[in-house]
Each structure stands twice: as C-alpha cells, then as structure tokens.
Amino acid sequence: MIEKTTRECCVEAVRVLYGQEISVETIGFEKTKREIEGDFSVVVFPLAQYARKSPEAIAMELGGYLADKLPVIREFHVIKGFLNLVMTEKFWLDFLEKEASSEDFGRSPRRDASPVVLEYSSPNTNKPLHLGHIRNNLLGHSLSLILEANGYDVRKVNLVNDRGIHICKSLFAYMKWGQGETPKTSGIKGDHLVGKYYVLFEKHYKEEIRELMASGMTEEEAAQGADLIREAQEILRQWETSDPDIIRLWRTMNSWTYEGFTRSYERLGVEFDRIYYESDTYLQGKELVYEGLERGVLKKKADGSIWVDLQDEGLDEKLLLRADGTSVYITQDLGTAEQRYEEYHPSKMIYVVGNEQIYHFDVLKKVMKKLGKPAADTIYHLSYGMVELPEGRMKSREGTVVDADDMMDEMYRTAEETTRELGKVDDFPEEEAGILFHTIGMGALKYFILKVDPKKNMLFDPKESIDFNGNTGPFIQYTHARIKSLLRKAADAGYVMRDTGSTIRDSSSLLPRPSSLVPHNSFLLPPEREILKLLYQYPSVVSQAGAELSPALIANYIYDLAREYNQFYQEIPVLREERKELIGLRLMLSAITGKVIRKGMELLGISVPDRM
C-alpha cells in the first residue's frame, strides 16, 4: 500500500537531506481533507526537530524528493506543515483493477497464532432476551466477523447462566402459582413463559418487603427475612444437592427457555461455536476456590464462607463461596475461564459484557492471578454502554424491559409500513416483499446499534433507525440496490465488465480494463477521486476496527462511502456518458463500491438486497 511506501521514502529523504535517522512511525500519513487539493497528506511537523527548518520548508524539500522517487505522485502542494500528495490517474486505475477488484480486498491472511475466544450473549434462563441482549449479541457477532477478517482464528462462545438465585426465583414462583402451565397449553413462547414467573416472584417479593417494613423492619432486614427469598434460597440449596424433583423441574423450564433462545438467535442471525452452562462450570470454579484455600491464597471466615482479600490491590474483600457452600457468580466465571484456557490455550479471551460489570471482571483477573492461573493474562472485558429507549431505562424485575422478540416484530412492522408508503414494493410478489421487510427491519436495527461506539450509552428509536435518509441501515441498503439496478441496466444495454466481484449477464460488448485507458490530468473528476480515496481506506478501516474492537468504525465508514456514491450518482453520468471508456470506468467504480458496501455490511451481520 502507498502508505508504507511513502513512509519508507520519507525516512530515506530525512537521512539523505538532513543526515538524520528516524523510524517510519515518525511519519504521519492520512487521507487529505475533502476541501483541500490532494489525495494523501504527510504530516511534517514532527520532522522540524531533525531538519531545523520551518515545516513549510521541510514539506517543499520532502515533496520534491518524493515526487522524484515515486512515479505514482503526479504533483504535490504544501499547506503549513502538511505535504499534500496528488496521485497519478494510473495509480488509481491500477488500484481499482488490481487491488479493489480482489474478493479478498479488506481481508488479512490467517495469522499463525492461538485462537481468540469471544464470549457474548450470556443470557439468564429466568427471562427472555431483551434489547440490552440485542446490543450484546450484535456486538459479539460483528466482532467475530471483524476479527476473522483480520486473520484471527475466532471461537464464538456463549455462557448460559442456568443456575443461581435468579433462576430459583422462577422455579419457586412456578411451583407456587404455575398450575402446570406450559408453552403449549398457554401459547406463550418458552422463554417468555419462564420470564413471566420471574416477574411474578418479584412482584410478590416486593409486596412482602413492604409489609415487613410496615411492621418495623428496615428495608435490608425485610429483604433478607422475607419468606419468599428464604424459599428461593432453599430451592438453590436443594438444587446444589441435586434434589431430583428440583432438578427435574429445572431441566424442564430450562428446555422451554433454550427453545425460545434458539428462535431469537435465528432471527438475529447470530450463532456460536460452543455453548457453556454455568451449571457445569461452577463446579470447576469451586475446585479452584478450595485449591486456593489449601494454598493459603484465600481465607475462610468463622461462618464457613470463603473470601479473597484484594485490599492490597486497591479493591476490597470478595465472597467466593457462601457459608452454606453455595457458589456465587464469580465462582462459575473462575471455572469457565480455567476450562476455556485448558481447551483452547487462547491468545485472548474477550468478554462482551455491559459496563456495570467492570468491577466484576477486574476482580476475576486479580483472583485468577492470585491463584497462579495463566488465563488471568488473557482476560479482556469489552465493556459496552447501556441501551435506553425514549421512555427511559428498562427494568427486568418490574417487567418493563423491551423483549428482543417484540423489538424485532416492531422493526418488521415499521419496515413494512415505511417501505409501502414509499412505494418501493409495488411490483414485488408478497413473499419477496416479506423477505425485504425482514432484511430492512433487521438491517435498520443492527446498523443503528452498531454505528454507536460500543463504550457509549445509546438511545434507540425504532422510527429514526428505519429512515431511508441519513446515517441508517436502510439508506445504505438502498444505495447498494441502486448500484445493482445500474449494473442490471448496463447489462441490458450490452455492457459486460471483467470480474470485479459483481455479476453482469454475458453480452458481446466487453468493456476495456481501466488500466488500458490513456490517462490525462483531467481524467478523474473530483467525485470519482473521492470514491477512490474512500475505497482505498477500506482495508485500514477493517484493521482499525479489529484493533479497537469497534464495529462502529466500519458502520460509519460504509455510510460515508454510500453518501459519497450517491453524490457521484447524482452529479456524474454513467450510462449516459458518450465516451465508452468512461462508462467502463464508472461502471467498475460502481461495481466495486457496491461490493465494498456489501462486504462491510456483512462484517456488521447485515444483508443488503439487490433491489428495493
């Protein structure tokens, strides 16, 4: 790529011109701003200390050296401390034909390294997936695709939290009020049915707390002394001692939830290579705790509970096993981390978990370190922000969450309503229209969530997400469909392009390769150059998204590309152009833009239709 070549030539120039040795990292290189003439810019300010000249003087000397040594530079301009390079038409045409046309454009070769284990989803079996889970799943799935595009061997894993006090609340509520209800008898999706009993438990639990507080107890005393919570804790104790009746009901209710999760995952388009269950991994976690106790790394208190003291590391004491021997959430995370390390020996274990768990993962790493486990050095918490709605925050205990299924249903309805209003499916058969509504609805949902920096909280507005204008999934999808329509019209007119990753029907009129055209200074128009510069950035954007674990970088890049193409489409004739060689260039530019839009959206887990 030209960045590497230019930086190396700059290092050589500093040695020849100023007698100084510098590293390539000293040379700043970036895309020239749109309002300034140039394709790429070299930042000269850092070189002033070596040349002892003004940045403008250095830029002039450096520009002359580069133009002499690199034939792909047509001319250069100096603005303050920036050396702006204008590339030759041949440089851009060669790039279009030889690099951008490759189906591997933007993908890195497979790395010879240990796999990356990427955990996402991690639902509890006491409730259905909700909007927060949607962000988690979409982030995790997109990151797996981005890391794979960067050459990593990625193992997508899911840890199902299928045990613990929350699950026991649903179990107890069903035992008390269920009356044998099932998904089949009620017509309720399995995960929603189990969630109904979790909400029911919390409703009655809060009522009991209020009654106890009215009798003189503090809120903390009431929360701990309520009969309902004591019953749920007894269920947990019976579960850990494998009471057959409790285990039988637990398995039944979990099976309802798993069936519901599977249907939701299919609609979201996410998948996993391996699913772990807390009911399995917590046992290995308990073994690690007892092992640490024997080695004196952990300590047992008078009531029999086991703790880790992290005060010397800026934290506090952390409970690892309760007095009755039952485990807490971090117990199973210890076991899961150790089990995964033993299975994969990964270079990194990435946990996609909300930012309310920052402290939890800090403790996890430090406990694993105290236990002497090498897995500690591979743990990375990708902390993401919360999703809110215009109505405010969601609360699962109060039943005010937005279920993932309900959100996907709403996105489909909104896509159908908006698309029909715009008359975009008037000639579509009903089945094809239904597929399009799903594609647009899910594209809108995924894009709106993924375009936001993962670390930031976000406000999700379904109506805004499905707008066909602005920074939305449907706008990008429509741009891709527009390009495909143009290529179909070109095929009908008898034009055929060589392989660019886009298919046009065979015909007798074969367009010449762009590199066979005779370039001249006015050949590439500004809108064409802008698209080429954006296309050139695609591999570095994919690389940066992998390094920063941020699908938002790809999402916003694809929007910029789609917006630039639409401006080009409005300003520059393609099939109406009189010169055949320019038709060939613009068709190839369109086809490769469409391909990069498709590939970029695929990294977000989003489909783009060929027509809409």
Q: Residue 20 — very low, low, confident or very high, per pLDDT cuts 50/70/90?
A: very high
How many domains does the chain divide into?
3
Residue 467 above 80 pLDDT?
A: yes
Contact 164, 329 (CB under 8 A): yes
369 found inside a domain: no
- Which of 27, 60, 87 finishes a domain? 87
User: In this predicted structure, what is the pLDDT of residue 400?
Assistant: 53
**Reduced to 3 states, what is the DSSP secondary structure of residue 252?**
helix
- Average of per-residue pLDDT values in the chain: 91
3-state helix, strand, coil in the chain (%, to 5): 60, 10, 30
- Which of 272, 302, 334 finishes a domain? 272
Rounded CA separation 299/317 (Å): 10
**Reduced to 3 states, what is the DSSP secondary structure of residue 269?**
coil
Name, in order, each residue with C-beta under 8 angstroms of 265's C-beta and a sequence gap of 6 or more.
Answer: 121, 137, 271
Residue 512 above 80 pLDDT?
A: no
- Domain range for 222 is 162-272
Kindly state whether residues 426 and 548 are assigned to the same domain.
yes
Kindly state whether residues 51 and 189 are assigned to the same domain.
no
Helix locations, 523-550, DSSP H = 526-548
424 found inside a domain: yes
211 found inside a domain: yes
Kindly state whether residues 194 and 82 are assigned to the same domain.
no
CA distances from 244 to 250, 279, 584 (A): 10, 15, 73
Q: Residue 505 — very low, low, confident or very high, per pLDDT cuts 50/70/90?
A: very low
**Reduced to 3 states, what is the DSSP secondary structure of residue 276?**
strand
CATH code assigned at 11: 3.30.1360.70
CATH code assigned at 458: 1.10.730.10
Residue 104 above 50 pLDDT?
A: yes
According to DSSP, residue 471 is labeled S
Kindly state whether residues 569 and 420 are assigned to the same domain.
yes
Amino acid at 135: R
Q: Residue 514 — very low, low, confident or very high, per pLDDT cuts 50/70/90?
A: low
Amino acid at 367: V
Torsion of CA 22, 23, 25, 31, to 10 degrees: 70
Kindly state whether residues 553 and 435 are assigned to the same domain.
yes
Q: Residue 385 — very low, low, confident or very high, per pLDDT cuts 50/70/90?
A: very high
Residue 506 above 50 pLDDT?
A: no
pLDDT tens readout for residues 169-191: 999 999 999 999 999 999 999 99
Kindly state whether residues 576 and 451 are assigned to the same domain.
yes
Residue 469 above 90 pLDDT?
A: no
pLDDT tens readout for residues 520-577: 444 789 999 999 999 999 999 999 999 999 999 999 999 999 999 999 999 999 999 8
Q: Residue 44 — very low, low, confident or very high, per pLDDT cuts 50/70/90?
A: very high
Kindly state whether residues 77 and 175 are assigned to the same domain.
no
pLDDT tens readout for residues 342-376: 999 999 999 999 999 999 999 999 999 999 999 99
257 found inside a domain: yes
Kindly state whether residues 481 and 590 are assigned to the same domain.
yes
Rounded CA separation 52/50 (Å): 6
Give me the phi and psi of 35, to 5 degrees please: -80, -5
248 CB-contact burial (10 Å; exposed 0-12 / middle 13-18 / buried 19+): exposed
User: In this predicted structure, what is the pLDDT of residue 501?
Assistant: 45
Amino acid at 483: I
Kindly state whether residues 80 and 219 are assigned to the same domain.
no
143 found inside a domain: no
Contact 149, 108 (CB under 8 A): yes
pTM: 0.91
Amino acid at 496: V
Rounded CA separation 477/601 (Å): 9
3-class SS letters over 55-96: HHHHHHHHHHHHHHHCCCEEEEEEECCEEEEEECHHHHHHHH
**Reduced to 3 states, what is the DSSP secondary structure of residue 400?**
coil
Kindly state whether residues 434 and 526 are assigned to the same domain.
yes
Output 389 or 217, whichever has higher pLDDT. Answer: 217
User: In this predicted structure, what is the pLDDT of residue 507?
Assistant: 34
Name, in order, each residue with C-beta under 8 angstroms of 199's C-beta and a sequence gap of 6 or more.
Answer: 127, 396, 397, 398, 399
Kindly state whether residues 72 and 199 are assigned to the same domain.
no
Amino acid at 399: G
- Which of 62, 87, 112 finishes a domain? 87
